[in-house]
Amino acid sequence: MRLSDTIFALASGAGRAAISLLRLSGPDSALVLTRLAGRLPRPRQASLRRLRHPETGELLDEALLLWFPAPRSYTGEDSAELHLHGGRAVLEGVSAALLACGARPAEPGEFTRRAFLNGRLDLTAAEGIADLIDAETAAQRRQALRQAGGALAARYAGWGERLTRLLAHQEASIEFAEDGIPNDLDDEVRQGAATLAAEIAAHLADGGRGERLREGLWAAIIGAPNAGKSSLLNALAGREAAIVSARAGTTRDVVEVRLDLGGVPVLLADTAGLRDTPDEIEAEGVRRARRRAEEADLVIALFAADAAPDAETLALLRPGTVVVANKVDLAAPPASIGGIAPIALSARDGTGLDALRSLLEREAQSRAGLSEEASLTRPRHRAALGEAVDWLEEAQRAPLPELAAESLRAALRSLGRLTGRVGVEQVLDVVFGDFCIGK
Ligand SMILES: Nc1nc2c(c(=O)[nH]1)N(C=O)[C@@H](CNc1ccc(C(=O)N[C@@H](CCC(=O)O)C(=O)O)cc1)CN2
Ligand SMILES: Nc1nc2c(ncn2[C@@H]2O[C@H](COP(=O)(O)OP(=O)(O)OP(=O)(O)O)[C@@H](O)[C@H]2O)c(=O)[nH]1
């Protein structure tokens, strides 16, 4: 991970493609580029050049080059991009030439790690970039862009500055006390710590929406055998993902489909019909269905309108469960099931499907949608902020100003680990460990 190394990696996807993008960064970038292309292109302007192996002189490709002199580059170092023809042999030939020039393959996330080490972004912004690459829905993209743009960084840096001021006041109060000067700085610090702790606690008490949006919601359809669960899953997925049959007890294991519900990624599970059964395999399916219902962020309880609501499913209704009466092409839906007005649906002819989809979108967004303010998105954030709150509370209880100062310093360290101002090598490995190559 030495910054004196010059690194390279494929930044575009692997496999056959029209064009491949090779990234190069580090102190020898200018030298390497000159040896391959004859001379340096004009900074930040695309230039078409022949690339040759520096030792054999063999022509490797005719490519577009971009040269970014430091510090105006993604990493903040001298960097370059080679836009090559996408063939495997082209990539191999150019990679071999780069190795011959002394560059080495980059570790996953190493470009962004260098950008971080050069002070171009904080750790939360770096995580936002990783999330942007993984984003599958519009809401995930918006959250990731906001974080990559420094929204969390700004918030946490603001708290860090306030904390630094509190600490300075606390230290001043200690000195006044030594000089025998009466002062009310202690009270001010206690008040400031309480306000800050409350603000961070409010940010933490967001129901985990940012984390849910990043990871996706878990949803499950539960109901009696033959209620039409598989039919509903297929209707929502728009394809025949689960087997539908007139025989009760068809679905035995959990069948999952990925849905985009109003920008929120949802993993929707079809489960085995809930009933007592002597069949061991089906009984295991029923156990799995119950477990899914317990774990799910969003539960859809499905009843058949032409039958009395079954006790097993009724027993699993909770506040927030979406209750649906299916098969309304056969019978009118009841006004209430378990005290909740059901959505009327016919999975067979599509009646009520749009209304159900809108309701599910609203429910998904209320659990995981974007909030007004940037939300924390990872357990790492939650843990560090939780620690900061604990230390701030400790500071308020401290019997001596010296102890209060110590707790404030610990709170500041927690925030510092979050943004990377306290540069602990371990934290960096956690954050950059799951980046992809070329980022
Ligand atoms: N070809 C290509 N496309 C790309 C990237 C890239 O590196 N290369 N990006 C990579 O993630 C993203 C764009 N992000 C970038 C962020 C900063 C700089 C950069 O050179 N910044 C300099 C100059 C800014 C300016 O002139 O306005 C700087 O901030 O000093 C480049 C790309 C998405 N698309
Ligand atoms: N008339 C009518 N029949 C439906 C409707 N939805 C599903 N069915 C039928 O009901 C039967 C059971 O449907 P499934 O979707 O397999 O039901 P399930 O709840 O997944 O059943 P299990 O796998 O046994 O738990 C099939 O014959 C479906 O065609 C509907 O809205 N109207």
397: exposed, middle or buried (C-beta count within 10 Å: 0-12, 13-18, 19+)? exposed
> Which strands sit side by side in the sheet containing 47-52, from one edge to the other?
47-52, 59-68, 79-85, 19-25, 7-10, 104-105
Residue 133 pLDDT: 95
Residue whose CA is closest, atom 13 of ligand 1? 74
DSSP state of 25: E
Ligand nearest to the CA of 301: 2
- Work out the number of other CB atoms within 10 angstroms of the CB of residue 434: 11
The tens-digit pLDDT sequence of the chain (439 residues) is 788 999 999 999 888 899 999 999 999 999 999 999 999 999 999 999 999 999 999 999 999 999 999 999 999 999 999 999 998 999 999 999 999 999 999 999 999 999 999 999 999 999 999 999 999 999 999 999 999 999 999 999 999 989 988 988 888 888 777 776 666 778 888 999 999 999 999 999 998 999 999 999 999 999 999 999 999 999 999 989 888 888 888 888 888 999 999 999 999 999 999 998 898 888 899 999 999 999 999 999 999 999 999 999 999 999 999 999 999 999 999 999 999 999 999 999 999 999 999 999 999 999 997 888 899 999 999 999 999 999 999 999 998 889 999 999 999 999 999 998 765 565 566 667 666 777 7
Dist. CA 326 → ligand 2 center (Å): 9
Q: Which two tokens stand for residue 325?
A: 């009466």
Max CA separation in the chain (angstroms): 88
Cα–Cα distance, 409 to 391 (Å, whole number) = 9
Ligand nearest to the CA of 67: 1
Residue whose CA is closest, atom 21 of ligand 2? 226
Residue whose CA is closest, atom 11 of ligand 1? 74
Residue 56 pLDDT: 95
Residue whose CA is closest, atom 32 of ligand 1? 74
Dist. CA 79 → ligand 1 center (Å): 11
Please check whether residue 26 is in contact with residue 115, taking contact to mean a CB–CB distance below 8 angstroms: no
Ligand 1 atom nearest 68 alpha carbon: 20
Ligand nearest to the CA of 347: 2
Q: Which CATH architecture has domain 125-205+378-434?
A: Up-down Bundle (1.20)
Dist. CA 250 → ligand 2 center (Å): 10
Distance of CA 277 to the CA centre of its chain: 41
Here the ipTM equals: 0.85
Dist. CA 245 → ligand 2 center (Å): 7
Dist. CA 429 → ligand 2 center (Å): 50
Summarize the chain as % helix, strand, coil (round to 5). 45, 15, 40
Residue 428 pLDDT: 65
Please check whether residue 382 is in contact with residue 124, taking contact to mean a CB–CB distance below 8 angstroms: no
Output the ligand 2 site: residues, CB below 6 A: 223, 225-231, 244-246, 248-251, 272-273, 326-327, 329-330, 346-348
Annotated binding site for Mg(2+): 230, 251
Annotated binding site for (6S)-5-formyl-5,6,7,8-tetrahydrofolate: 23, 81, 120, 439
Residue 181 pLDDT: 66
Residue 171 pLDDT: 83
Output the ligand 1 site: residues, CB below 6 A: 68, 72-74, 81
Cα–Cα distance, 137 to 146 (Å, whole number) = 14
Ligand 1 atom nearest 120 alpha carbon: 29
Q: Which two tokens stand for residue 79?
A: 């960097």
Ligand nearest to the CA of 307: 2
Task: Report the residue among 226, 327, 349, 356 best suited for mutation to probe ligand 2: largest number of ligand atoms under 8 A from its CB.
Answer: 226
Q: Classify domain 212-368 by CATH number.
A: 3.40.50.300
Task: Establish whether domains 125-205+378-434 and 212-368 are of one fold.
Answer: no
Please check whether residue 76 is in contact with residue 90, taking contact to mean a CB–CB distance below 8 angstroms: no
pTM: 0.86
Domain ranges of the chain: 7-106, 125-205+378-434, 212-368
Residue 182 pLDDT: 63
Residue whose CA is closest, atom 18 of ligand 1? 74
- Residues paired with 61 in a beta bridge: 51
Dist. CA 230 → ligand 2 center (Å): 7
Residue 431 pLDDT: 62
Cα–Cα distance, 34 to 348 (Å, whole number) = 67
H/E run at residue 220: strand 217-223
CATH 3.40.50.2300 correct for 7-106? no
Annotated binding site for GTP: 226-231, 245-251, 270-273, 346-348
Dist. CA 364 → ligand 2 center (Å): 25
Ligand 2 atom nearest 247 alpha carbon: 24
Dist. CA 252 → ligand 2 center (Å): 14
Dist. CA 74 → ligand 1 center (Å): 5
Concatenated DSSP letters for 340-400? BPPEE--TTT-TTHHHHHHHHHHHHHHHHS--SSPPP-SHHHHHHHHHHHHHHHHHHH-SS
Please check whether residue 387 is in contact with residue 414, taking contact to mean a CB–CB distance below 8 angstroms: yes
Residue whose CA is closest, atom 17 of ligand 1? 74
